Chain A
Amino acid sequence: MATSGTRPRAVGRPVKRVEDGRLLAGQGRFVDDLHLPRMVHAAFVRSPHAHARVRHVSVSRALALPGVVAVLTADEAARLCHPWRGILTDYVGMKTALQYPLALDKVRYVGEPVVAVAAADRYVAEDACDLVGRVRDAAGRRGSRSRHASRDAADPRGAG
């Protein structure tokens, strides 16, 4: 608060930002710039499908890759936290299906994470994602059109 007799200097005019110097010089510190002890890098196997069933995720080859620290599957992730629903207060009653950190049984949008990998660096983590076993059974819509709508045997991450 301004004391009586003085006018606040910052009101009614633009105030120069104190953080600009470092940001403009490329000296900002963002999360991706941090190096912490024992830090590892994550990558995700993601769904190429808008709607498909996930079956037979096999992670043994990914785990065996040198530099891989951990591979987290949807089952394991689901045991670590409770599922949640997304809601919008503007649309009373509208809510999402139960959501999990990694897609459990079914993927519901393109890019939904299915498996998470942690490794010594990002390149190795991505390599390990490539080694996660194929999902054979990608299902489509229900009903009579399901045969036509179902996808060919596919990978949760693309290529398929």
Chain B
Amino acid sequence: MAERHVVRLTVNGESVERLVEPRKTLADFLRQDLELTGTHLGCEHGVCGACTVLLDGEPVRSCLLFAVQADGARVGTVEGLAHDGLHPIQEAFHDHFALQCGYCTPGMLMTVHDLLQRSPSPTREEIRKALAGNICRCTGYHAIVDAVEAAAARLRAAPPREAAR
């Protein structure tokens, strides 16, 4: 077994320190070492977007990063999205039936969170482009785009206190 390294990072606002093998992916670190199983693994090679998390505020594929690469970083996962109850993006997904099995949903939510931070009033075309890297096998894309439009409107009207980042 390879030598383990200490990693210190902030996950959903909480400081964590663990010993990990250098080859352990950030996704497996979150799911196994921290038991944050909301981050899902679909393709395990950066195509499906299910494992999307925020690294220092940027959306990244946690299956393509090693945990040791996140040393010193701020990581945001779906578990940290809402401060209290559901985040407006999560509420909009619920209201617009934007999920079926729910497997791709955490990655969708993190991607949408990033989109709406950068672009508070995206067009439907821009929403589709932003979500192009998140695959939904239940094929609920229309409902997801509807939800993102609704979430954008809600966030413009009443921005929440931010939790995850």
B41 and A123 within 8 A (CB) = no
Q: State the main secondary structure of chain B at its contact with A.
A: loop
Secondary structure class of chain A's binding surface, majority of residues = loop
- Contact between A23 and B105, CB atoms less than 8 A apart: yes
Q: Which of B21, B93, B106 contacts A26 (CB 8 A)?
A: B106
Bitwise interface map of B from 16 to 35 toward A, beta carbon under 8 Å scored 1, else 0: 00000101100010010000
Structural contact, B38 and A27, CB atoms closer than 8 A: yes
Q: Do B78 and A123 have beta carbons less than 8 Å apart?
A: no
For chain A residues 58-84, which have a beta carbon within 8 Å of chain B? none
Q: Are B86 and A24 in contact (CB under 8 A)?
A: yes
Cα(A14)–Cα(B37), bound, Å: 30
Scan residues 124-150 of chain A and give those whose CB is less than 8 A from a CB of chain B: none
Residues of A within 8 A of B102 (CB): 19-20, 23-24, 28
Q: A17-B97, A20-B93, A123-B24 in contact; A26/B77 too (CB < 8 A)? A: yes
Using a CB–CB cutoff of 8 Å, the interface residues on chain B facing chain A are: 21, 23-24, 28, 31, 36-41, 77-79, 81-82, 86, 90, 93-95, 97, 99, 102-103, 105-106, 109
Whole-angstrom CA separation of A14 from B146 in the bound complex: 15
Instruction: Give A29's nearest chain B residue, CB to CB.
Output: B37
From A14, A16, A24, A29, B105 is in contact (CB under 8 Å) with A24
6 contacts between A and B (CB under 8 A): A20-B94, A21-B94, A24-B102, A25-B38, A32-B40, A123-B21
Kindly list chain A residues whose C-beta atoms are within 8 Å of the C-beta of B105. 23-24
| Residues from chain A with Cβ under 8 Å of B93 in the complex | 20, 24
Known contacts A30-B103, A32-B40, A123-B21; A25 and B97 CB within 8 A of each other:
no
10 shortest interchain CB distances as A-B pairs: A26-B38, A23-B102, A26-B78, A24-B90, A33-B37, A20-B94, A26-B79, A28-B102, A26-B106, A23-B105
A23 close to B99 (CB less than 8 A): yes
Contact residues in B for A25 (Cβ distance below 8 Å):
38, 78-79, 81-82, 86, 90
Check if B94 sits within 8 Å of A16, measured CB to CB: yes
| Bound Cα distance from A106 to B116, whole angstroms | 51
Complex CA gap A21/B90 in Å reads: 8
Residues of A within 8 A of B77 (CB): 26
Distance from A24 Cβ to chain B, minimum over Cβ atoms (Å): 4
Residue in A21, A25, A26, A30 whose Cβ sees the most chain B Cβ within 10 Å: A26
Min CB distance, B117 to chain A, in Å?
Answer: 18
Which A residues are in CB contact (< 8 Å) with B28?
122
